[in-house]
Amino acid sequence: MARHSAKLNDTERGLIDRAVNMVWSERGVDASITGVGEALAGLGNEAASDLATALAPYMTGGTYGAFFEGQASLDLDTDFTVFEMSDLATREELRSVVLSAIMFMTSQAMTRSPRSVRKLL
């Protein structure tokens, strides 16, 4: 999300980790991408400021902010879930972020459900 076209280096990953942990400890389940971006901007580090700028499209007021702010409405507790993503076909940068989020949430749901529940991915 912070770097669509290239991988993050160790410093950038560390800065993001610090910002996420700061926001999580302050806001808990009310944490958001906007909070992470603001925390990065407030670290007083040039690399962190660059990362905050890269996150701006996903923050409140950004092009994709509406997709990532607020409570998640995805419900994986049903017997069958389909993800319709044809609207993302032309938005590669958004598609990769959404797919990563879906994969993370799906893996969390699968690993946290009882082993007796049958699963298919």
Burial class of residue 86 in the structure, from the number of CB atoms within 10 Å of its CB (0-12 exposed, 13-18 middle, 19+ buried): exposed
Nearest CA among 47, 61, 57 for reference residue 11 = 47
Which strand (E) or helix (H) includes residue 98? Answer: helix 92-112
Residue corresponding to tokens 């319709």:
84
The one-digit pLDDT tens for each residue of the chain (121 residues) are 666 667 888 999 999 999 999 999 999 888 899 999 999 999 999 999 999 999 999 999 998 888 888 777 777 777 788 888 888 888 887 888 888 888 888 887 778 777 787 776 6
pTM for the predicted model, two decimal places: 0.73
